[in-house]
């Protein structure tokens, strides 16, 4: 029974010492093999002859460690974690035990305690969420999945940009592709307008929870109050939009993005395409080849796309609409610009009433009342205050490129400035203008030549240069 609990080292010692006892090995050879002194080998031989082979085991085996944490401290720590920090990980729970309860315990020890108590389950043992496969829709145009993929589509030949993808759920065919600087409302309106002109109105679009598609301030009474600009445009055209709860739910377009990031990037590399305009011109050719290779036939041959009704205005729907109240002076503000309506008979009657500002993706802007466009002029088109624009994460790359250009322009303006002020620090060396490190040059007075060429002055100047920190 004792041999079962022995380590490999103990078993090796028993084997070697048995050979010494049997006379097949000398004591010196045994000491060399076991890496022990001859004196220690004699002690082990005496122990075997007195108490048997089981006495070779280390005496501390089976005994509790002298440095172990008492059971009371362990139970108290586990109780605190269970009552106060049940949803904390071991690392954060350990920090709180030290900070608030003065209980210092190693992170891995606490992890072991929490695991044994059933409070913590390692990531490897957690059950992954199961996503059941969903069958394709039956008809073409019944459900169209849309998504934006921000990627280095031109590799190192051009800027990072977004690709708006429209793919049919029933057939897996690409219906529209549009490259854009970022994933924003205007580009989605522009792309959706082109899609509707080519295919007609689908039954519904299927998207993620991006801010272009979904608003978090919906009203239970008014269906249109919580719509985004894109959702409002689809509502005017009687098209529904469904937001998926997880990326896996719209796996059709997610997998298509992976294929596009491989095939489309390489196709554009072979053709030398490095601008958004060239990529949009090439998109129809790629779509035709993609659909011929990967497209499926729908189970039902019926096309669910619907034509635009006579009362539906596609151009009027696919724009940004904001409601403004017209002042008594026939003015309104939109996008930090003051608009003044021409004093016509219609505009005079609208003082104090609401009008609609229609901002189109192509840059046009109209002020509408019912179906009438009101003539206007702008008063202050220059913005006096430049505030940082609040952007979401999918527009961050686009904004950073704009910021970099603005900063480069400011640096050029700074370098082309007028005369340097007295005492201004030199950009390169950190030495004050006209000085040698121990004073300022007076305005309009040139330094003395003999003073500037003085060896002592030159030495002090060199020391000042050496004291400057090196550029990182």
Mean pLDDT throughout 141-164?
93
**201, two tokens:** 């109105």
Put simply, whether the predicted model's pTM sits higher than 0.75 gets the answer: no
- Note the pLDDT of residue 129: 66
Tell me, yes or no, whether 392 lies in a domain. Answer: no
Work out the pLDDT band at 432, boundaries 50, 70, 90: very low
Asked if residue 465 and residue 441 are part of one domain, the reply reads: yes
Dist CA 258 CA 163 (whole Å): 12
Asked if residue 290 and residue 153 are part of one domain, the reply reads: yes
Tell me: the pLDDT tens digits for 326-347? 999 899 998 888 999 999 989 8
Tell me, yes or no, whether 309 lies in a domain. Answer: no
Dist CA 17 CA 42 (whole Å): 10
Is the pLDDT score of 379 beyond 90?
no
Asked if residue 335 and residue 290 are part of one domain, the reply reads: no
Asked if residue 196 and residue 166 are part of one domain, the reply reads: yes
Tell me, yes or no, whether 175 lies in a domain. Answer: yes
Asked if residue 242 and residue 165 are part of one domain, the reply reads: yes
Asked if residue 149 and residue 231 are part of one domain, the reply reads: yes
For position 243, which CATH number holds?
3.30.420.10
Asked if residue 369 and residue 291 are part of one domain, the reply reads: no
Dist CA 95 CA 84 (whole Å): 13
Tell me, yes or no, whether 186 lies in a domain. Answer: yes
Write b or e for each residue in 183-205: b if 16 or more Cβ atoms lie within 10 A of its Cβ, otherwise e.
bbbbbbbbbbbebbeebebbebb
Work out the pLDDT band at 443, boundaries 50, 70, 90: very low
Asked if residue 280 and residue 150 are part of one domain, the reply reads: yes
Asked if residue 247 and residue 191 are part of one domain, the reply reads: yes
Distance set, CA 310 to CA 17, 192, 298, 313 (Å): 103, 19, 29, 8
Mean pLDDT throughout 389-414?
64
Tell me, yes or no, whether 310 lies in a domain. Answer: no
Q: Which helix (H) or strand (E) holds 177?
A: strand 174-180
What's the domain count of the chain?
5
Is the pLDDT score of 257 beyond 60?
yes
Asked if residue 225 and residue 185 are part of one domain, the reply reads: yes
Asked if residue 199 and residue 152 are part of one domain, the reply reads: yes
Q: Domain span at residue 43?
A: 8-56
Q: Please, which residues bridge with residue 163 across strands?
A: 149, 179
Tell me, yes or no, whether 340 lies in a domain. Answer: yes
Tell me, yes or no, whether 251 lies in a domain. Answer: yes
DSSP 260-299: HHHHHHHHHHHHT--SHHHHHHHHHHHHHHHHHHH----S
Distance set, CA 326 to CA 220, 359, 368, 383 (Å): 29, 17, 11, 21
Cα R_g (the chain), whole angstroms: 39
Asked if residue 354 and residue 428 are part of one domain, the reply reads: no
Largest Cα span, the chain: 126
Q: In what order do the strands lie in the sheet with 376-378?
A: 331-334, 337-341, 376-378
Tell me, yes or no, whether 90 lies in a domain. Answer: yes
Q: 308-322, 338-352, 449-463: lowest mean pLDDT where?
A: 449-463
């Amino acid at each position: 029974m004792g041999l079962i609990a022995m380590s490999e080292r103990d078993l090796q010692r028993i084997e070697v010492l048995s050979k010494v006892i049997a006379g097949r090995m000398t004591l010196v050879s045994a000491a060399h093999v076991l890496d022990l002194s001859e004196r220690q080998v004699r002690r082990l031989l005496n122990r075997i002859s007195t108490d048997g082979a089981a006495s070779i085991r280390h005496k501390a085996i089976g005994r509790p460690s002298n440095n172990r944490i008492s059971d009371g401290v362990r139970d108290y720590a586990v109780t605190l974690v269970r009552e106060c920090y049940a949803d904390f990980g071991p690392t954060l729970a350990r920090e709180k035990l030290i900070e608030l309860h003065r209980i210092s315990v190693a992170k891995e020890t606490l992890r072991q305690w929490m695991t044994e108590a059933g409070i913590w389950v390692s990531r490897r043992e957690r059950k992954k969420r199961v996503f059941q496969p969903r069958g394709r829709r039956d008809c073409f145009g019944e459900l169209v999945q849309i998504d934006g993929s921000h990627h280095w589509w031109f590799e190192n030949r051009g800027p990072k940009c977004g690709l708006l993808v429209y793919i049919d759920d029933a057939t897996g065919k690409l219906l529209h592709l549009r490259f854009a600087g970022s994933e924003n409302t205007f580009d989605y309106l522009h792309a959706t307008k082109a899609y509707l002109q080519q295919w007609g109105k689908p039954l519904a679009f299927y998207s993620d929870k991006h801010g272009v598609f979904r608003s978090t301030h919906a009203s239970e009474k008014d269906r249109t109050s919580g719509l985004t600009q894109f959702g409002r445009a689809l509502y005017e055209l009687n098209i529904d939009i469904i937001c998926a709860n997880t990326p896996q739910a719209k796996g059709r377009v997610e997998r298509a993005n992976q294929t596009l990031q491989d095939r489309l990037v390489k196709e554009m590399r072979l053709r030398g395409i490095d601008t958004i305009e060239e990529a949009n011109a090439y998109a129809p050719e790629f779509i035709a080849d993609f659909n011929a290779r990967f497209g499926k036939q729908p189970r039902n041959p019926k096309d669910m796309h619907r034509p635009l009704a006579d009362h539906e205005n596609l151009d009027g729907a696919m724009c940004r609409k904001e409601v403004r109240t017209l002042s008594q002076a026939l003015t309104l503000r939109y996008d930090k610009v003051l608009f003044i309506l021409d004093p016509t008979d219609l505009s005079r009657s609208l003082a104090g009433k609401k009008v609609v500002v229609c901002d189109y993706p192509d840059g046009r802007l109209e002020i509408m009342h019912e179906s009438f466009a009101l003539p206007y002029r702008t008063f202050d088109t220059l913005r006096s205050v430049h505030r940082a624009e609040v952007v979401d994460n999918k527009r961050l790359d686009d904004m950073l490129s704009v910021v970099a250009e603005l900063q480069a322009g400011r640096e050029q303006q700074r370098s082309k400035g007028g005369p340097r002020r007295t005492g201004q620090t030199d950009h390169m060396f950190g030495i004050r203008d006209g000085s040698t490190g121990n004073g300022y040059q007076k305005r309009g007075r040139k330094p003395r030549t003999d003073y500037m060429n003085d060896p002592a002055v030159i030495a002090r100047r060199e020391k000042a240069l050496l004291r400057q920190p090196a550029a990182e």
